[in-house]
Amino acid sequence: MNESEQRTERNANIWAPWRIEYIRSLADEEQGCFLCRYGEAPSRDSENLVLWRGTNCFALLNRFPYTSGHTLVSPLSHVGGLENLGGGAMCEMFEMVRDLQCLLSKAIGAEGFNVGMNIGRCAGAGLPGHLHLHVVPRWHGDTNFMPIFGNVTVLPQALGELYARLCRTAAELNLPKLS
């Protein structure tokens, strides 16, 4: 069997109907920046999966996560690069990262974290005009066969269920009150 036939044998459909929301959002430029919309709507924090709000920044669950608990930390202002971010907002962003690490370690047993940002579309930014940090929980041995053979990530918990669990655990840890 040649390489093409082997690859074809391994291909399988894995349905992920929730991804259509993300695909449609890419074409819907009329709605503008989702981080700005979420930042301007504190009354919809639960619906928008916003965990915390500070003076300059907010933290929210990523609707299209790499792993369970993948969160974003963003300034409230529409800032595309670090050179335009004030010191107060920068400090507050990293305080939120610190608190998210504590929360995610306790609530879902995260053993490590990837923390980073993509600045500019060529660097991988899906939303290049609004700076944000990714906080991605990791576990020992979490790179399993699914991403390698199936180009698929398995997320074991629904976002709404995870949001509720994070809210409960934040209260137990005396972290800033979640939205």
Q: Would the pTM count as exceeding 0.85?
A: no
CATH class, 31-139+147-172 region: alpha beta
What amino acid occupies position 72?
A: L
Quick one: pLDDT at residue 153? 60
Residue among 70, 130, 132, 134 flagged as catalytic: 132
Residues of the chain under the 70 pLDDT cut: 1-31, 143-156, 178-179
Q: Determine whether 140 is an active site residue.
A: no
Instruction: List, for residues 84-98, the tens digit of each pLDDT value.
Output: 999 999 999 999 999
Quick one: pLDDT at residue 2? 60
